[in-house]
Structure 1
Amino acid sequence: MPRDPWSHAMMFLRATLFLDQPLKSKQLCTFVTILLVALIAGCKGTGQAIPEPLPADVLDEVPGRIPLNVFASLPLVRRMTLSPSGEHIASIQNTAAGKTYLVVTTYDGKDVRRLLASDNKRYSIRWCDWVNDERLLVGVGADDGWSNLRWTETRLFAMNRDGSNLKTNLIAPSRDHNFFAREYLPQLQDRVIGKLPGDNRSVLIALDLDHHTYPDVYKLDVYTGSRELIERSTYGMRYWMADRQGVVRLGTAVEGTIVHILVKPVGQDRWQTLRKYDALREPELTPLGFDEDPNILFVAQPLDGRTAVYSINLSEPHLPPILRASHATYDIEGGLIYSSWLKRVVGVHSRFDESAGLYWNPDAKELQTRVDLALPGRINDIQDSSRDGRRHIVVSSHATQPPQWYLFDEDLNRLTLMVDGYPKLVPKELVKPMPVTLKARDGTVLHGYVTRPTQERQHGPMVLFPHGGPASRDVLDFDYWTQFLVSRGWAVLQVNFRGSSGYGGEFLQAGFKRWGLDMQDDLTDAARYAIEQGIADPERICIVGGSYGGYAALMGVVKTPELFRCAVSFAGVSDLRALLTDKRQFLGYELGAERQLGAWWSDRDRLKATSPVNHADTIRTPLLIVHGAEDRVVPVEQSRAMVEALKDAGFTRLRYVELPDGDHHLSRQDDRVTFFREMERFLITHLDGAERSE
């Protein structure tokens, strides 16, 4: 069953720190031409040089140990989708050489075609989807910037499944613009909000061609690029949603922290307010999508402190919402599951330790049960299906099983393994994490996982591994960082500190404006718990993290230097006020960065006190700092400033590596290999060696 195409239209209301649409966007008049050349010939990234390439690591040759490159390789598949008939499969695949391809094959794998290529430097293939059995849409991203402001541009390509009729200029400048804006091209051009039943040539797309950051909705011909205006962005609409019949029925406007959700009832032309609220002070309501009945809208809203999914009958607004899915421990955070053959929404995706979603439809639940019986002990996610429901794409994984992609053919009653995401990783050589529960110093209950090289081993070296986000959550699933660290003999402790998502609004909001304070104390308490339980040697603990986790690593050696023997920060934040300055230039600032961190001016004393860059003169713990020069989430200047501050303080126990083409997500294989090799050597030196911080 496919992921609902409209389910994430309102995810901006979640407590996320980083949004990527700037208030001003530099037009790229030659973008399509340059990008097409790049797709064919490859392109060369720019950025600050890193040190000379490291020699081959002899540690990779240790008998019986999984080579570093096996963990650092990109997974072979990132996305896979069935054509409506189920006869063809489109996928985004990575190669051992570090390139990414859009690949189309027949369902039996006999006819394979590579259509587009990316080197993941200045551009990337973001997603693909079928419009009909012949035509594919492809979302492509490329980095851009002006002065100190950087962002990502997206473009929309279309092509036939054999690679013919490639259209790279689907979105051309509008002829209706005034003289001064006639060549403006939107920054984001791949926001497809729906399809049109019975129309195999067109999709609905949101484009801010006429009023910057206020997109209108157009009907777009995916063969010619011609478009027809469907809905104007009245009332300051920024986000749109269409029903299953292809009618634009819902829009959302945001003014600071005030959210307006408007709907257009069936058969009416006037917009009506469904909900207006202050997202900082009132319970949130997040539209997820429509059922086949255009009067039925699914929404996410709180229930007993946890996010649950309800359905609302827009034709009878006086009736109370109907509860569809909830969980006693976790928020329901995913998108809707829509069954094309049952013609209805049948459930909702949400990641739990035991399943990938919840179903309320018995037929859909029965299908899921059959898949689970065929692949027991795993999380089996039915990610896409043919229109008739006879063929399905299943992604199957668990903590010691990297993702595998299967085709389930109901007519043949056969489940066929198509691609193993990490074919050289053998489940029996990986280690299953064990759930742990502990209490922070103020009594707050924290959940997490500990993964140990040998369960019987006591007081061994340990890595405290805080997740990024910080509005994210570690779950019981395959994690290539964790498995790599454990393979080298280090236990790994992951803890969902306050401010993590998934445990209800109160737990999430307990992290707001508490960076370096309660959130950091949770990590400290988790490390001490590991010592008390005999998991970690108190003299051999290192804190390692990326993004927010990188910030926590830096703050850890500032706040509790006696606890950590070393620290690794990948793409970490070091200066909270500088980060706020950067994020103020982007949409969603009030509900994103400011909501998380606080106000640049009125909270300045706290922000300065909890910024590691301002404490460089107190740091004595060995540090490895790595950052991508093309990071569009946490600017590379964050690590550069930290390194400069450390040098000014006379600190010498530092290794800084800058990845010239690196992004925030280690999307390039070369960058993953470089980072893992640097991290391995650093940890062997400081965590396994005799050296101890001063």
Structure 2
Amino acid sequence: MRPSSLPAFLHLILVLLLVWGTAQAQPAPAPAAAQPPSLQALFREPALKSATLSPTGAHVALVLGESAESDRLVVIDLASMKPTLSLLSEGSYLSYVNWVNERRIVYIMNPPITAASDMQLSGKVAAIDFDGSNRRDNFQRAYVQALLARPGPRPNEIFGTVDVSTGRGDTDYTDLFAVDTVTGHRRDIDTPRRSTDWVFDSTGDILAATRRDGTDTVVMVRTPGGAWRDVHRNGLLNENAIYPRHITPTGELIVVSNVGREHFGLFTFDIASGKLADKPILSSDRFDVGASFVESRGELVGVHYVAERPTTLWLKPELQQLQARVDAALPGLINRLHVPRTPTTDFMLVSSSSSTQPDQWFVLDAKTGKITARLGNALPEVSARALAPTRLMQFKARDGMNIPVWLTLPRELPAGGPPPLVVLVHGGPWVRGSTGDWDSEVQFLASRGYAVLQPEFRGSAGFGRKHFAAGVKQWGLAMQADLQDAARWAAEQGHADGKRVCIAGASYGGYAALMGVATQGDTFRCAVSWVGPTDLPYMFVKGVGDTSEVARRFGLPRLLGDPKADAEQLRRTSPVNLAGQIKRPVLLAYGKHDWRVPLEHGERMRDALERAGNPAQWIMYMDEGHGWSKAANRIDFWTKVERFLDVNLKNAR
């Protein structure tokens, strides 16, 4: 990473990219008849990737998408709105940027993918002062797999972790250390044996931790005498589970738990007695509540969480009032306040987005409650006026289970009847698919005239333990039936043309897309599948992909199916074995260096379809892994998807 040439370039950043007005809160209005966004506008490298407030609120660190393979780190003094630092990450992406203290910033540089091993290793860790001094490059190399957000207990330190493996793909435990960002000195932290996750108090001491035991997770707390005590055991299916999340400045342990409940909520946990509070701090009767915590001036002042969409519970009236003023200034958006930990100024940041608004960042004067500057927008060429909102709805599957589903309809509906439909299936699959926030893929499809349906099929996380558990061993079965039921529901409700439906997705979504045309060809006219597994038994083979030994031995047999006891089911629900049943058009795409779903999955599926007389449209990117990290590849891929859908869906009758 090198400093840029100075005055002219810094002035250009200020004038063209960063500073926006002094009193306005909204960008200039777009033309009334805004055109659909271009592929380049939707899938470019973000102009502004992140904004991180310094501990006192005096500075902000910005990551700008400089070029196809380089980012720029810029630090702005918020009082003067002048840059104090501009660094270019030549040939690398900045995957992590954080403040160590008010003067010092740590960052990770990741090179482009050139081999399958690249994604197994972290990039190079470096640090610099906000004024460009005391730079230290590459003081920690590939063994650093993550830097934790909180600084270490000593000046200039930050916590880092590395997985310690007993063999390829097998993690035995996670090592925690503190690294001095000035000297590069690494200091190991004493942690409970085989622990993998920790909760720190305000001084940097660990008071709660978890360790793996097969597929279970054991919760431990530290007694006043320093000994560790087991207080709870969480099973794989998250029934009656407790997960430590935060120690407040007053020493209270906050956990997420669904003990005796259907949904995860936020509770206090008494370390001395080992008991969970009877009443939650925060809960929902429809969603599992996850949370991150906001501390300022040594107090817990707020909780960021997600229910239907991201929101914040503020514990201070003045912050509630600020939130209300920001929401009034930026109506209809998800507005998140970023509060300094040790404020010496009145500055805060606001990050703002919605299903029709890409991420954008503002400067907020907390004293006046006014937005004073607009730092930038991730996708500045995209106009919200040309986009369509995403709504959360619900339908009943064929067995009566309620399935949440996100629906996005084209802004301009066709005159001759309902629009064609793309069922866009999320990956994972044991994750939540969406929060209804910005999604370039959804907006691309909707702007091209397609209704977009994103089902939170059974097995998806975030909607209660029954919903999650209903997906056990249901790949290609009840999970797949939910996708067909979603498409039929959309047609019955008049949202989409039931005769023109395509199924699409990546990773698990790519698998589901292939199963859709293999077993539900009467519903799905075509499939767009990228980086999807096609041979389920192959996922159990040691050394294939990044599946750990623990997952192969314990997790996958319970969630996906036992490779011996359920061998016939796994064979019947593998798309590579069903190529002869696929009569619909298929687009297949993979990255050559995919570390999670190796290229062989795609090549074998491609060859099977060709032998069956229904060759797929084949795409393979030589410089990608599990998904498209490069803007040029994203634009190329979606250009081909647009043509594929035009021929096989939009204009099909």
TM-score, length basis structure 2: 0.86
Shift of 1:344: 1.8
Structure 2: runs of 5+ lacking an equivalent: 5-32
For 1:139, which of 89, 108, 113 is the aligned residue? 108
- Assess if the C-alpha contact under 8 Å between 1:254 and 1:260 holds in 2: yes
- Counterpart position of 2:583: 620
Task: Verify: 1:205 aligned to 2:160, yes or no.
Answer: yes
Q: 2:562 aligns with which of 585, 593, 599?
A: 599
Of the three residues 212, 234, 247, the one matched with 1:290 is 247
Q: Report the Cα offset of residue 190 of structure 1.
A: 3.0
Deviations 1:533-574 (A, max 9, x none): 233323321112122211111110001112222111121221
For residue 153 of structure 1, give the secondary structure of its aligned residue in structure 2.
coil
- Alignment-mate amino acid for residue 221 of structure 2: V
| Conserved 8 A contact 2:59-2:76 | yes
Aligned residues of 2:68 and 2:630 also touching (Cα < 8 A): no
Please state whether the residue corresponding to 1:273 is helix, strand or coil.
Answer: strand
Task: Name which of 634, 642, 650 aligns with 1:688.
Answer: 650
Does the residue aligned with 1:536 lie in a helix, a strand or coil?
coil
1:216 CA drift (Å) = 4.2
Report the alpha carbon displacement of residue 271 of structure 1 after superposing the two structures with TM: 1.3
Describe the SS at the equivalent of 1:482: helix
Alignment partner, residue 52 of structure 1: none
Tell me if the contact between 1:440 and 1:522 (Cα under 8 Å) persists in the aligned partners: yes
Alignment of 1:214-293 (within 5 A): 214-231=173-190, 233-266=191-224, 268-280=225-237, 282-293=239-250
Q: Which secondary structure state, in structure 1, belongs to the residue aligned with residue 597 of structure 2?
A: coil
- Within 5 Å, give how 1:524-673 maps onto structure 2: 524-581=484-541, 582=544, 583-585=546-548, 588-589=551-552, 592-652=555-615, 654-673=616-635
Cα distance change on mapping 1:85 and 1:227 into 2, 3 Å: same
Change beyond 3 A, Cα 1:97–1:540: same
Contact 2:126 2:140 in 1 (8 A): no
**Contact 2:334–2:354 (CA<8 Å) still a contact in 1?**
yes
Contact 2:364–2:370 under 8 Å retained in 1:
yes
Counterpart selection for 1:464 from 411, 417, 423: 423
SS at match of 1:407: strand
| 1:436 and 2:393 aligned | yes
The residue aligned with 2:62 is 91
The number of residues matched between the two structures is: 612
Q: SS of 1:465's equivalent?
A: strand
Paired residues of 1:297 and 1:312 also in contact (CA < 8 A): yes
Structure 1 164/544 Cα, relative in aligned 2: closer, same or farther at 3 Å? same
Residue equivalent to 1:338: 294
Q: CA separation in 1, counterparts of 2:259 and 2:182? A: 43
Q: Secondary structure at 2:608's aligned position in 1?
A: helix
| Structure 2 counterpart of 1:190, from 122, 139, 146 | 146
Question: Which deviates the most, 591-600 or 148-157?
Answer: 148-157
Residue 531 of structure 1: how far off its partner (Å): 2.2
| Cα drift, residue 192 of structure 1 | 3.0
Cα deviations by residue, 1:599-639 (Å, 9 ceiling, x for unpaired): 22222211111111111122111111112223333222221
Matched residue SS, 2:376: strand
* Structure 1: distance between partners of 2:238 and 2:95: 35
The change in CA–CA distance for 1:553 and 1:118 in structure 2 (over 3 A counts) is farther
Q: CA deviation at 1:661?
A: 1.3
Letter in 2 for 1:204: F
CA shift in 2, pair 1:310/1:364, >3 Å: farther
SS at match of 2:189: strand
Seen in structure 2, the aligned counterparts of structure 1 residues 115 and 318 have a Cα distance that, compared at 3 Å, is same
| Identical amino acids, percent of aligned pairs | 31
Match in the other structure for 1:177: none
Match of residue 640 from structure 2: 678
In structure 1, distance between residues paired with 2:239 and 2:34: 58
Question: Which SS does the other structure have where 2:184 is aligned?
Answer: coil
Q: CA deviation at 1:262?
A: 1.6
1:476 offset after TM fit, Å? Answer: 2.4
CA contact (8 A) 1:286 1:300 kept: yes
How far the C-alpha of 1:195 sits from its partner, in A, is 2.7
Aligned match of 1:56: none
Structure 1-normalised TM-score? 0.81
Write the distance in 1 (CA, Å) between the matches of 2:587 and 2:332: 38
SS at match of 2:483: helix
Q: Which has the larger displacement, 521-530 or 64-73?
A: 64-73
Match of 2:356 among 373, 388, 400: 400
For 2:326, the equivalent position in structure 1 comes to: 371
- Aligned-CA RMSD value: 3.1
Give distance in 1, aligned partners of 2:555 and 2:393.
30
Corresponding residue to 2:128 among 147, 159, 163: 159
Helix, strand or coil: the match of 1:539? coil
Look up the SS of the partner of 1:666 in the other structure: coil
The CA deviation at 1:685 is 1.4
Aligned residue in 2 for 1:71: 42
Matched, 1:422 2:384: no
Q: Bigger shift: 552-561 or 287-296?
A: 287-296
CA contact (8 A) 1:104 1:161 kept: yes
Q: Which amino acid aligns with 1:229?
A: D
